Amino acid sequence: MKKLLRNSILCMLALATLTQCKKSINSSSELELVEIAKTVTVEAARAEATGLTKPTKVLKTGKIYIYKNFLFINEVRKGIHIFENSDPSKPVNVAFLKVPGNVDMAVSNDILYADSYVDLLAFDISSISSIKEVKRLKDVFMQFYANHSGQKYVVTYKDTLVKKSSYHKDLAFLNTAAYSGGGSSGQGGSMARFTLLNDHLYTVGHSDLSLFNTKTAANPTFVKSINLGWGVETIFPYENKLFIGTNTGMHIFNAADAANPVKLSTYSHVFACDPVVVQGKYAYVTLRTGTACRMGSNQLEVVDIEDPTKPKQVAVFPMKNPHGLSVSGNNLFLCEGDFGIKSFNITNKNKIGDNLLQHLKDIKSFDVIAGPKSLIVTGQDGVYQFNYSNASNLRQLSKIRIQRLPIEVWN
């Protein structure tokens, strides 16, 4: 009831502000675009148009993913922008894949997997100019159903212009990888809820781990779900193991038997938002306060996972507001939200905080992928790519800008 009342108030506030700003929000510091919740039947949600369209402007960014020479940028609950990225200094917007209710994705053997509300969709992307949906698995993300009077609904969102409020800060990234194991799979960021390992797709919801057999890539099959408890946020695969970040700790699963992952241990920490990446015998965990994690801490933790049944803390370093992170060789790249992006030398695990290589303060960063051709960073105003051959001197190659449209478009 409180949520419905709050949404109603926001709707009325939005209507009031529309008459005060007839041109564009580009010049307005008083307004912001937020999403107002609305429940619809699952049949109505599935009836929404899905599929390939011409390239569209990026209005806001969610998850990022790279596969072959393509960069995929999720626009939260709208779909996926596809950029040809063989030259990171000149990314080309080539298509938009409309997927209502989408927040995450993964690619294996030219098949892109994407969530659409409570369903999993599989698309053949072997030809970007003629992407085709090849399968829909219904009702596999049951936790996203909303129940009312015994009926099942899904929640959709309408972009609405309202007066600015700190309550909405970071909203687009609330539902917001990690190397997926190489070979025929792609690479995502550390905020990922989808990942691929050993011919299986693993996805995490708010409280569970779901498994899909993708041995026949175009014909994924649901295997099962494993309850993990509340507060699940991210998943990272490494050497037949799954590292699952939650807001109270990191779960480690052995996935050598891909269809039957076994929990090895849990590394506990204070209540905080928690992406995880792994390299060698160390896991790197960022904890932060934020929209859903107000009681947490802002820090980078280094965890020894040589014995995955007994993870142990090596060091803790204070940060401003750390979000996503990525490791490449002896370097770690860490997004500090409104406070920029940092690069560190991590050779000495106990001295990482003393080995800051560079701090770009002007980029409001949320997630990062250290890819084979560039360092890809999602920011509040766009997606940046850097040459990171010298981690002490990141050189910007390109920027895919977030477009700000006139408010009339949002009516």
Cα atoms in the 13 Å half-sphere on the side-chain side of 42: 17
Q: Is residue 284 predicted with pLDDT exceeding 90?
A: yes
Average per-residue pLDDT for the chain: 85
In 3D space, the residue among 316, 334, 317, 337 whose CA is nearest the CA of residue 325 turns out to be 334
Task: Work out the end-to-end distance of the chain between its first and last CA atoms, rounded to an integer number of angstroms.
Answer: 26
In the block, which residue shows the tokens 């080995």?
355
Mean pLDDT within 35-57 = 90
Q: Which residue type, as a one-letter code, is found at position 356?
A: L
In angstroms, rounded to a whole number, what is the distance separating the alpha carbons of residues 125 and 212? 19
Q: List pLDDT tens digits, range 116-158.
A: 999 999 999 999 999 999 999 999 998 777 776 667 788 887 7
Residue 74 has pLDDT above 80, yes or no: yes
Q: Which has the closest alpha carbon to 324: 366, 361, 363, 369?
A: 366
Of the candidate ranges 34-48, 121-135, 149-163, 232-246, the one whose mean pLDDT is the lowest: 149-163
Handedness of CA 394, 190, 294, 319 (dihedral sign): negative
**What's the pLDDT score for residue 380?**
86
11-17+33-402, what's its fold? Answer: Methylamine Dehydrogenase; Chain H (2.130.10)
> How is residue 54 annotated by DSSP?
S
Please say whether the beta carbons of 285 and 245 come within 8 A.
yes
Torsion of Cα atoms, 297 then 302 then 306 then 307, to 10°: -20
73 or 5, greater pLDDT: 73
Q: Give domain limits for the chain.
A: 11-17+33-402
Q: Which of 95, 145, 142 shows the shortest CA–CA distance to 123?
A: 95
